Structures are given as C-alpha cells and as structure tokens.
Chain A
Amino acid sequence: MRTGIAELASKLRKREISAVELTKTYINNIEKLNPTLNAYVHLTFDIALKTAEQADQMLKEDDAPLLCGIPMALKDNICTDGLPTTCCSKILDGFKPYYDATVWEKLRAQGAILLGKTNMDEFAMGSTSETSCYGAPLNPINTAYVTGGSSGGSAAVVCADLAVYSLGSDTGGSIRQPASFCGVVGLKPTYGAVSRYGLIAYGSSLDQIGPLTTSVKDAAIVFDAIKGCDKRDQTSVDHDYGVSLAEYLDRDVKGMRIGVAEEFFDGINPEIKSQIMEAIALFEKNGAIIENIRLPALKIALPVYYIIACAEASSNLGRYDGIRYGHRASSYTSIEDMIVKTRSEGFGDEVKRRIMLGTYVLSSGYYDAYYKKACLIREEINREFDAVFEKCDVLIAPTAPNTAFPLNYKGASPVEIYLSDICTVPVNIAGIPAISIPCGEDSKGLPIGMQIIGRKFDEPTVLQMANFYEQNSGIKAGVYEGGARA
C-alpha cells in the first residue's frame, strides 16, 4: 500500500523528505508517464516548485496544515487564478480565470502543491474522458482501456501516482465511475457540502467537487479540507460534522444496517455482482445487518438525470459565445454569425448533443412533458431514498455495471454509454454522498468499484464503512506498479 497523506505529512515534518524533493519526484514521474497516459493537460511545474519552497518554510512551523507540501492535481474544470482552466474544450482554449475556485483557495492556503490540471470529458460530459479536446487519458492499469469519466485524468494521476491526491467533480458519477475504472477511491460528497464556486458548471443542481485518493483515510482528510459553507455559493450548507471526519473511520460496523436494493443490480456484469455480494457478506460476517430494500424509481433515474443535467447544461453553456474569453471564430460576417461559428467550432459532438437535448426539454410545449416531469420524479426518488434511510445506515451497490471500456468503444449508440451511469446518477439526483472503493478485479484484471451510499451529510458513516472494507478485505487501491511512491 502506498504511503498515505498522514504519513507523508509526518515525513515532511520530520525532514525525512522536503516538499521540494517530493514535488520533484512527482515531476519526474509525470515527465516519464504523462506523455503516454495523457492524464494531465496543463502542467504547472514552475509554480509547483515555488510553492514547494514556501511549503518547506511553512513546515518549519508546528501548526503547518496537514496538506502542506503534498503534491496534488485539479480537474480542468476547477478555476485556478492565472492558470489554464479549459474544461478540456476548444471553446475555452487559452482561458485563464482571474479568480480561484473556493476549493483551490482552501487547499492553496494549506500549502498544497498543484502539479497540473487533469484531463476530463469536455465540460464533464461523458463516461470515458474520450470527449476531451486533448484526446483521451489512458487507464494506467491497462492502457488499452479508458479511465472512465468524466474525471478520468484525476483518477489516472492518482492511480499512476502522478499526484498524491486529486480533485474531481461528480454530476452523475464523474468521480466514482473513473475511480472504479482505475482502482482508486473517489468520494462524491453531499450536494452543498463542498462549495461549487469556481467549478465550471455542467448540471448546477447535481455538480459536486470531491477527492480521488488511494485510501479512504486520504479521502476523509481531503474532504475535511475542502468542505464547508461558502458565502459565494448559496447552495453550500453550513453543516456541523461535530468532530473531525478522520475520527469516524475506525468505528465498528457491528449493528450497522446495510441496504441492498435489487434495482442496483439489474443488468450488472455478473463478475461485478459477485464481488459486491462477497463484500456485503464480509460486512455481515462482522456484525452488520443486511436489509433487502426496494427503490423502484431507480429504473427511471437515468432519463431523469439526462433531462435535468442537459437542461441545466444548455443554459450554463450559453455564455460561451467567443465575446469575452476563450475561442472565437476567425472570420464572421456579423455578431450572430460569430456566435454561431464560435460555438460550432468550439464544442464537440457530445456537448452539442447535450445542449440540444437540454434546449429541447426546456422549450415551450415540451417543458411540462420533460423537464417538469423529471423534477417531479426527482422528488419521488428523494422520497424513496428518505424512506430507505429510515431503515438503513448505508446502501451498497456497484459503482458501474461494467469495468473499463476498451478505448474507442462506441457501443450501439450514445445511450449504451449513458447506461454505464445507471448506478451513480440516482445519488446525484438525491444529493446524497457516496464513495467508490476498489473491490477486486474482473477476469481481465480490470478494477471493480463498490459504491457505499449514505444519508445527506453522513459522510462519516460512508467513510467508516468504506474504511472497514479497505482494512478488512485485503483489497487496496493503487494497483498500478511503478508509481512515485511504489
């Protein structure tokens, strides 16, 4: 198992290694592997080394923050002052915000070292990271396969040890599914737990930033550092978790009630199903109570998700018109022509598909039949989850119905790829937290992810259950050999 954040922090404090040395190790590893993996799309080594020097100064103080001097990565849709933030879209080519996202502001203040921005599906729309305008990142476990998406780069850099941890964003599974494909830990926090300020919006009512790490404990540490109410994000919530999250990790699972809904297992790859069932059996053996529950509305969660996310996206992406920032068409005859050409050139097919879908479902005459109905079903899904959480502390489900797709896998239609989000989207619709942790591998050696879903703002229980499994199953993240910490 790799050295965790807490251990690295302790080594940095004991001067066993300096932040500059640690950063250089990561830079070397990135220079070696990134040309193949394409996990980073913008590298920030100069700034990383400068901040590492500052971190070494900070580390001389007793009260240096835990994440001080630890090299990390941000998904390319998280705004970084003066550094490229492009959502891996041609339309934001060259865009450098003049403000930091709240999460980055918090981490920067702790002395975090940013190595670069990670590859992703264009505007976070996709499940393979192949819609990136920079080309797909490759799965470090097996480079013939995708990383998953949309936070594919963020999962790959953690998997290949090109960063100690990374941040991703999750609108319909975009942290958990790539975490599952790359065999790492990915936490999607409760909607409102982490500020969205500076996260370039895809589906505003679903988007949430969260960590990707190689252990549950690291996920807890990073989540702890980025969570909290933000006066710049009205949807962020001032929730008091009581004690620090890491303290919850080692609680016993005895008597914990685990819900298992058959709807989550419909059409799931049997290899995945059997791994998850084995995991559930491990919990049961250790005193957890298994409840078989039903969540009938899950069957229609996928269309609900695609309607709501695309509706919001169609509005959120209207601003990319070439007037103020990013790509602008080079020749045009009028302002209308400029906007049309800029958008036609700047957006990829998947983004265009979702903008059209979203525009359609919000159009007068269709609004009631699609958008409004989707919102009503969303309420029904929430009610079902509320009812289930009366009886259960957490739910366990697969993260994805399949392991990583081969690269360039087209499927029968875009819908087949959309189906790979089936286990993750209900969580975003309900705004509840969920984690994906490694749960063995399939016969091809590709990682399988298990999802643990909790009540709103009950990340402590989610992390506790995940940590128990990690500690007791013998299955660890960071399968990739040859990383910086190997």
Chain B
Amino acid sequence: MNYEIVCGIETHVELATKTKIFCGCTTEFGGEPNTHCCPVCTGQPGSLPILNQKVVEYAIKAGLALNCKINTKSHMDRKNYVYPDLPKAYQISQYDEPLCEKGYIELDSGKRIGITRIHIEEDAGKLIHDKGHTYIDYNRSGVPLIEIVSEPDISSAEEAREFAEKLQLTMRYISISDCKMQEGSMRCDVNLSLRKPGDPNFGVRTETKNINSLSFIQKAVMAEAERQADILDAGGTIVQQTMRYDEGTNSVTPMRDKENSDDYRYFPDPDILRFCIDDEKVEEIRASLPELPFDKLKRYINVLGLSEATARQIIKYKKVAEFFEGALAEGASVKNAANLIVGTIFSNMDTEEEKELFDIRISASQFAALVKLADEKKINIGVAQSTLQKMLESGKSVDEFIKPEDLVGISDEELESLCKEAIDANPKAVADIRGGKDKAINMLFGYIMKKTGGKADIRKAEALLRKLMG
C-alpha cells in the first residue's frame, strides 16, 4: 500500500562560543577527559550557573536566519532526568518560553518547512565504555546547544535531506557552529510516521537517532518509512519509541531507553533570572547577519549571471563563496573566477570536508591577479589553469610562473604570419586536414604554441588557420 510520510526533524546544533553556556570553561572539542571542567559544569554542590550572553546572541542569530520570531521575554527551565552523563540530574533547557518561534526553511521547490521553535540548552557529558568499565568525560558538559524543532512538514527522504542541508549551510554562514555531523556538533533526530494519502490524522511516530551524516538522514527516513510500511501492510501497529539508525546495515532498530519515564518535571530554573531581549538588540543582530546562502545563490544566478550548477557549487561552502567574492572585489571576472575555482581548485579536493575547510595556499588577491591575466587575454585559459595549479602547490604568486616579457600579447598580424608559417612548415598535416583528418590541426596548434611559448589564443589561431587553408 502507498503511504504518505509525515516527518519532522529535531536538530541539535553545538554553538561555537569560546566558553560554555554557564561557566568560563572552554568549548574546544576533544582534550584529555575532564580537563575542560569546573565546579559549575560538573554540577558540584553549591555551584551556580551564569548564562553566557553570547549563547543568547547566537541563538537569536539562528532564529533570524531561519525567519523566526524572537521572543522578547524568555527564561531557562530545568529538565529533570537521571543519567550519569548529566551531572546535576537536570539539564538546563527551555520549555515553554523558547527564544525563537515560528520560522521556516524554504526548499528549492518553494515548499516551506516550518520551524516550530529554537531554544538554548546545555549539552551533557559523554560515557566511555572500556573493558567492562564505564568512564565519564564531562568536557562536553555545559557546551551550549540550540535545539531546532521543525514542523512535521517533511514528506520525503529527499526533502528531509534538503532541509538538513539547508539548515547546516545557514548555520555555517552565520558562523554560529561548524555543524560537523561526524563530530556531533550537529545532530539530527528524525520523527516519522506514515498515514494513508488524504488521511487528516497522524499515525504513531517514532524518533530515530544516531544519524551522523546528511546522506544518512535520507537513508534513515527511507529505512524507517519502509519498516513502518511493512508493519502496517502486515496489519501491525507502530509502537511509539526511540530508534537507532545503523549505517552499516542501513537499518533502524529500537534503542534502549535512557529514561524510565518521559516526565521531565520541567520548572523554571530559580538560579537563572528571567531575561528580556529588547528589539534594539534583535535589530542589531539582524543587521550583523551576512548574506545568507540562498540569497547568495539567487544573486549569483540573477545578477552575476552564473549558471545554477556553478553557483550552487560555490555557495555550498562558505569559505569558497568568500574566496570567490574576494577575487571579484580585486577585479577578477565572474566567469573565469568561477570556472577556475570549480574546475582547477576543486579538482585538488576530493572530499566535502576539504571543500568546506578550503585550506588553500593562495589568497583571493593572488588568485584574482591570475584571473585578470586570463580576463585580459594575456594568457589563455589553459595556461591559467596550469599556472593556478602551480600556484596552489607552491603558494607562490602568479609572477613567479609567468614573466612580464611572456605577457606581451601576440598581435593579430604576428599571429597571422605565424599561422602562415605553420601551414608552410607542415605540408603533410595540411594535406591530412584537407583530406578530412581534422585532428591533424593539432600539429599546427603545437607549432604555434611552441613558437609563442603557449601565449597564442588558440581559438583565434584556429579561425585564422582555417581561413588560410581555405
């Protein structure tokens, strides 16, 4: 039977503030266990939390970037549950007054996936199981998180992936998180149920956790939808439970529950005062937001005239877009800059991570200097590509590889006489060409390139050769 997928995604994003949400400890990833800790983040008796204002600011940034309404009054709540990684036996979170509400992410199709709410909270520590023993590392305890809850508006695995991808990219653009799913700085939980098309009621939903890449989101949604469909087809019922996605087997299995009960006994944390956010502050943060990725995409296509495919490749990585725009600011042309980035620079990068990191040895202005030579036709695109490659390998500027004397352009007259020379010097090739072996023209190109040290405009040369050969 056919079912309709009803899916919402809860995303935890670790905020890239320097210090934790309630104390001055560093948020740096890793470190020897329990070295990024203090009485506050390990919940020592008598310690008290102090809310980090940067966390509030970052969360507001996220809210504005996701088209949310920012609540001017907010407070922190305690979510009580017992687990060894939670040192106070409560997580300081937000329950009924989240910082941001009612936003959306627009998919390429134009469909909007609603954002129900965004709230701030603290992360827990980490359990490490080793040889029958369990150890606890509280370095992550107190690292600030935002939880972004979507409406159940997602109706396919593709949409789920696109939603998460757009969310990730937006968070990266506003520099509030590196959103590395592998390292856990972005964690998506998928809530999913099925219903018969046209049925106004929701089915029983499950929550799938442990999804640590974008492509696994798509796979997990498909796997869970199939699992539920099989149960329903066999006349069974779905049990509301927490599931775990296993990437190895691409399957979804029930997870052992952390808590015995779902009653978190939320109540306002008496240690943290209610806080107000004035409109002025919100407007200040709004003004500080950079151009968001999908506004950039539209501008690249509509204003800069890039093809959609190229534009998407560039906006997909914040640093790449910055590099591209940096080169444009230095006077490089849109088309050559874009093509050299997507062609030459990307060919040096095998993985998404490398492109995201975009750790290259030349600056945008060094790059622009090269692009401009191509723009001014002082070098052809092939030379530009090979020179760029040498620059990337060495970190040196373009003038290390192309001498000023090389840059004297080949005049049309010179080119024409060179073409004549080439024809005269290669009678066999000319005969072959005339006889239909067009490939033989490469012999003539080679002659001209050799004579000019690769500086000749090969398209112009081709046109001239063909004219001369009749």
Contact = CB atoms under 8 A, between A and B. Distances in A.
B82 A321 contact: yes
A198 B39 CA distance: 10
B46 A101 contact: yes
Contacts of B49: 234
A232 B23 CA distance: 9
Interface stretch (B197-205, B267-275, B439-447, B451-459): B267-275
Nearest to A338: B84
Tell me whether chain A's interface is mostly helix, strand or loop, or mixed: loop
Contacts of A196: 48
Interface stretch (B87-95, B209-217, B370-378): B87-95
Contacts of B271: 201, 204, 234-235
A170 to B, nearest CB: 16
A92 interface: yes
A315 B90 contact: yes
A335 B134 contact: yes
Contact of A234 (B45, B50, B89): B50
A232 B50 contact: yes
Given A234-B51, A371-B267, A321 B84 contact: yes
Nearest to B260: A336
Contacts of B84: 321, 323, 335
B270 A205 contact: yes
A311 B269 CA distance: 11
A97 interface: yes
Contacts of A367: 265, 267
Contact-residue bracket for chain A: 35 or more
Contacts of B48: 196-197, 232-235
Interface in A337-358: 339
A177 to B, nearest CB: 22
B43 interface: yes
Contacts of A324: 42-44, 87
Contacts, number: 98
Nearest to A358: B265
A364 B43 contact: no
B362 interface: no
B44 A315 contact: no
Interface string A414-439: 00000000000000000000000000
B286 to A, nearest CB: 27
A318 B270 contact: no
B136 A97 contact: no
B80 A79 contact: no
Interface in A277-325: 311-312, 314-315, 318-319, 321, 323-325
A200 B46 contact: yes
A318 B272 contact: no
A85 to B, nearest CB: 7
A231 interface: yes
Interface string B103-142: 0000000000000000000000000000000101000000
B302 interface: no
B20 interface: no
A203 B80 CA distance: 16
A359 interface: yes
Q: For the complex of A and B, list the 5 residue pairs with the smallest distance between their C-beta atoms, beginning with the closest.
A: A318-B89, A205-B270, A362-B265, A204-B270, A198-B46
